[in-house]
Each structure stands twice: as structure tokens, then as C-alpha cells.
């Protein structure tokens, strides 16, 4: 059985998980063999250090050149090898630059993504297309994922769209105009039965329960003394844990003095009664607690502030715990343009960093292991990292900046 597997000057070999297939590589040529039948199945062009590895389903993933890869599949019929191509980054790290125990091209267990080690980052490339539109969208003014990440709300200038976030399919459109040309805040209630957004008439709440879609008749308005309601902008909106209260940040610029004035307002959601308001500065973080009636609002330059929405007193929470973390495993940090992931062990580190300019997020929303990114160039991306955190944990990937960054491609 030695003769059928003879490959002169072979420098690298790998074998499939069940031992049915073997691949060998030499300068200029790679070969795929059947170990059970003792026969050569395919030969293909190869460089000296081109990467290749078998998946759990006996498919051979192979780097053809620095910009492309192929999948050779003989698992169904060893006598018939099918081939598929996929794009790769232009710089793939050579095997001489990494320990021999570390594979520099590796498909994830479900073969939906492929991990590639490059000189500066660990890249994750999708092997499945999940974009819902091929052309850029420039009409989106706000996004939010429901609590279970099953629904996605998109706010445009003319409507509120509800999408199935799992399949990228639009489900409903609610006609509602907004005069804002840049931003239109939109948010699901924690249980996903309501959507709050901004319109020309003020703040609107949409009821999506039982598949029905209707605008609640309640009006939420707060024109402070001397303000013209048409001159106000609403920067943030949110619904409390029990869907009993609604909060928003209202903003206006005094034309005479040029001073920006902001108010945080809290209403009773069913009746629209204004319960509380206070003047504040520019708010960088605005979020209801996931477990109780606390509202977090953090000034851009300042410490977090916590409003008890039962007593309407500000309180100091030295250990807010998981009140505001929610079930999110993915986080976006504008400083450094980085997406971070929290692993099951509690470790946190960068998932995607050094994003290329065309993927700079304009809007970001995440729930659990899913996220939605709307980029500056109009791309709407749905990310599903289910299983990836556990995979990173099993592989014991270390969050060292120089080796563990993962780039979104």
C-alpha cells in the first residue's frame, strides 16, 4: 500500500477525521487520495506553503493562491470530486511563520465560516452569503434588534420596517414619516411586543403583538416653555423592562445663543402622561435596565447616572451588575472601531478589529450572539456568531492584540 501514496518531494500531508482521505503537498502540486481504495482522486496546482485542511465532513479546504481558495469534496462519491471556489484575503501567512501545531486555514465545525491566520490578524470569512440586498441602502436612519434577535426594526425617512433577522426577509412596513435626514431612533421593548420610534408628530409606539401592526393613539409630547415643538429633535428612545414607561432625550439648539439644550423625559406609556423631566448634557449611553425600573444615562464626558423610574430620584449604583449588560455577547467600541465578544468563561476581547473603512458602522445593534451593522457606505450586515464563542473557547484563543484580532471580511 505504499506505492499508491507515493508523492515525490512531498513536504506536508494531512488526513481526514475518519481516515478515509489523505492530502499531500509538494512544490507545484498537491494530491487528494482515497485511503480506503488506495487510489489518487485529484491533483491540483500548489505552492510550497499553501494551506490545506480537512473539515469534519471530509471536505478538503485548500488555498490555491493568496487571493482564492477551493473546496474539494469526494465524501459522497470518491470517484467523483466536486470543486467549489471562494475568495480569500491577498496575504495568507505561510506555514513557516506559525508553529506546526497551528493550522493557518480552518473551517468552523458547521462550515459556514473559515478562519484564516494572516500576518497581523485572524480573519473570519463567511462561506455563505447573508446579505439581504446587493445594492447599498442610503435610506436607513436607525436599527434595533428585538430581545430574542428574531426581529430587526429599520427606521427610514418614510416608514418603519420589520424584518425577520434570521433569514433577512422583510415582514411588515408601517408608514410613518420623519423630517430627520440623519438619524431616526428606533427601539424594541424588552419583550419585543412594541416598537418605539420618532415621527413628524413626535414619538410613536407600534404594537406588533399577535402579528397585528398599529400605531398606538397615545401622544407623547413635551415642549418646554418657550420651545417650538417643530424645532425639537429626539436623540434617544427606549421602553422600560415591564413596558410601562417610555423615556427619550429631547434636544434643541437655541438660535440666539447657539447653546444646545437637552431634556431627559419619562412618560407613562399607556396614558402618555409626562412623569418626569430633567435637563442634561449630551448623552453617550442611554439604556433601560433589563431587570428593573432603573434608567442609565451617561454623559459624553462624565460618569454614568442612574435614575430610579419609580421614585424619580438619582441613585448611585456602585455595582450595577447585569442590570444593563443584558444577554449581549457582542459589543461595539467606537474607539478603535472594534467589535468585542464575551466568551462563556467570562473572558472578553476583540472579535473584529481594524475594520476596513467601508465597514465602519454607522448604526450597531446586538442581542445575544447576533448583531446588525449598518455601515457608512450603505451596507446592511446581519452577523450570526452562534457557536463561534464556544469554538474560540475550545481552541483557547488568547486575546493578545498582536495575534488574536479577527477582521470582518
CB 92 within 8 A of CB 104: yes
Residue 31 maps to a domain: yes
Half-sphere exposure of 279 (CA within 13 A, CB side): 4
pLDDT digits (tens, 9 = 90+) for 120-174: 666 777 764 334 344 567 789 999 999 888 899 999 988 899 998 887 788 888 8
**Domain limits at 338?**
327-409
Residue 167 maps to a domain: no
pLDDT digits (tens, 9 = 90+) for 323-349: 876 667 777 777 666 777 777 777 777
CB 160 within 8 A of CB 153: yes
Residues of the chain with pLDDT under 70: 1-4, 47-49, 64-68, 79, 85-103, 118-122, 127-136, 209-217, 219, 221-231, 325-327, 335-337, 351-359, 389-409
The gap from C-alpha 61 to its chain's centroid, in whole angstroms, comes to: 26
Domain boundary (78, 96, 126) is at 126
Residue 74 maps to a domain: yes
Residue 42 maps to a domain: yes
Say how far apart CA 136 and CA 374 lie, in whole Å.
Answer: 10
The residues facing 267 across adjacent strands are 246, 274
CB 29 within 8 A of CB 42: no
Domain count, the chain: 2
The residues facing 226 across adjacent strands are none
CB 361 within 8 A of CB 352: no
Angle at 247 between CA 361 and CA 362, to 5 degrees: 5
Residue 218 maps to a domain: no
Residue 220 maps to a domain: no
Domain boundary (126, 145, 178) is at 126
How is residue 243 written as a grid cell? 413596558
How is residue 352 written as a grid cell? 473584529
The C-alpha cell 450595577 sits at 320
CB 358 within 8 A of CB 342: no
CB 336 within 8 A of CB 355: no
Residue 319 maps to a domain: no
Residue 165 maps to a domain: no
CATH code for position 79: 2.130.10.10
Number of residues that make up the chain? 409
Amino acid at each position: 500500500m505504499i506505492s499508491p501514496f507515493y508523492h515525490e518531494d512531498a513536504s506536508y500531508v494531512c488526513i481526514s477525521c475518519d481516515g478515509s482521505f489523505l492530502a499531500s503537498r509538494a512544490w507545484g502540486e498537491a494530491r487528494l487520495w482515497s485511503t480506503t481504495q488506495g487510489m489518487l482522486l485529484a491533483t491540483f496546482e500548489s505552492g510550497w506553503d499553501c494551506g490545506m485542511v480537512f473539515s469534519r465532513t471530509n471536505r478538503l479546504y485548500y488555498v490555491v493562491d493568496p487571493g482564492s481558495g477551493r473546496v474539494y469534496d469526494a465524501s459522497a462519491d470518491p470517484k467523483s470530486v466536486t470543486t467549489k471556489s471562494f475568495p480569500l484575503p491577498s496575504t495568507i501567512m505561510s506555514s513557516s511563520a506559525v508553529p506546526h501545531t497551528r493550522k493557518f486555514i480552518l473551517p468552523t465545525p458547521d462550515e459556514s465560516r473559515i478562519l484564516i491566520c494572516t500576518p497581523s490578524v485572524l480573519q473570519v470569512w463567511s462561506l455563505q452569503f447573508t446579505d439581504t440586498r446587493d445594492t447599498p441602502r442610503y435610506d436607513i436612519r436607525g436599527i434595533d434588534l428585538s430581545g430574542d434577535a428574531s426581529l430587526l426594526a429599520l427606521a427610514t425617512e418614510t416608514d418603519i420596517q420589520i424584518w425577520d433577522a434570521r433569514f433577512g426577509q422583510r415582514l411588515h412596513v408601517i408608514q410613518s414619516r420623519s423630517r430627520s435626514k440623519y438619524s431616526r431612533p428606533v427601539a424594541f421593548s424588552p419583550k419585543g411586543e412594541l416598537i418605539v420610534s420618532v415621527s413628524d408628530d413626535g414619538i410613536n409606539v407600534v404594537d406588533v403583538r399577535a402579528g397585528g401592526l398599529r400605531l398606538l393613539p397615545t401622544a407623547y409630547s413635551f415642549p418646554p416653555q418657550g420651545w417650538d415643538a417643530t424645532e425639537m429633535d429626539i436623540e434617544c428612545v427606549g421602553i422600560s423592562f415591564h413596558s410601562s414607561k417610555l423615556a427619550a432625550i429631547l434636544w434643541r439648539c437655541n438660535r440666539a445663543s447657539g447653546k444646545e439644550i437637552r431634556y431627559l423625559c419619562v412618560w407613562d406609556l399607556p396614558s402618555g402622561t409626562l412623569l418626569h423631566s430633567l435637563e442634561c448634557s449630551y448623552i453617550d449611553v442611554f439604556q433601560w435596565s433589563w431587570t428593573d425600573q432603573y434608567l442609565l444615562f451617561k454623559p459624553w464626558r462624565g460618569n454614568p447616572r442612574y435614575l430610579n423610574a419609580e421614585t424619580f430620584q438619582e441613585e448611585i449604583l456602585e455595582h450595577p451588575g447585569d442590570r444593563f449588560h443584558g444577554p449581549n455577547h457582542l459589543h461595539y467600541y467606537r474607539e478603535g472601531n472594534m467589535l468585542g465578544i464575551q466568551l462563556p468563561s467570562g473572558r472578553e476581547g476583540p472579535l473584529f478589529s481594524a475594520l476596513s473603512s467601508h465597514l465602519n458602522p454607522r448604526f450597531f445593534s446586538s442581542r445575544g450572539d447576533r448583531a446588525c451593522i449598518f455601515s457608512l457606505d450603505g451596507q446592511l450586515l446581519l452577523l450570526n456568531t452562534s457557536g463561534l464563542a464556544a469554538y474560540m473557547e475550545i481552541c483557547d484563543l488568547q486575546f493578545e492584540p498582536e495575534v488574536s484580532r479577527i477582521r470582518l471580511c
